[in-house]
Amino acid sequence: MNRRLSDQRIRATCRELIAMRPRVSGRGLCAELRKRFGAVGKTERVFAIWRDEVAKALAPLPAANAQREIAELQRRVAAAETAARENLARAERAELREEAHQDMWAMEVDRLRQELRAVQPQVKRTLIT
């Protein structure tokens, strides 16, 4: 069975580890690859990929790219805030509808109980006679 790991899998694992713990070591990457995939791959290749990914993670973004990313993140935050407000309003409307529904049925049950109380003496008289 060919157990060779693709560069893509190694890079993805490396990025995940760097995102979780920025100071991940090459040995930590090898241990994680062994845990996830049951194999590590050639040490030279894995460490070359690891060094490349660490360098990419530490490299500062160019100013124009950073500005675009900031603008995109601000747009996404605004969209998420709008969605959150809409969801909250929808939940509040649903809660009000539920309360109105419960009140309506509580009044109906109360009306029927009162009606039953009014009829009970007549039923008792009918049963006695």
pLDDT at 83 over 60: yes
For residue 47, the tally of other CB atoms under 10 A from its CB is 15
Q: What is the pLDDT of residues 6-17, one digit of tens each?
A: 889 889 998 898
Q: At 95, give phi and psi (nearest 5°).
A: -65, -40
Q: Which of 6-20, 42-56, 88-102, 115-129 has the highest mean pLDDT?
A: 88-102
Q: What is the mean pLDDT of residues 50-55?
A: 88
- The SS3 of residue 103 is helix
DSSP, res 107: H
Q: How far is CA 24 from the centre of its chain?
A: 26
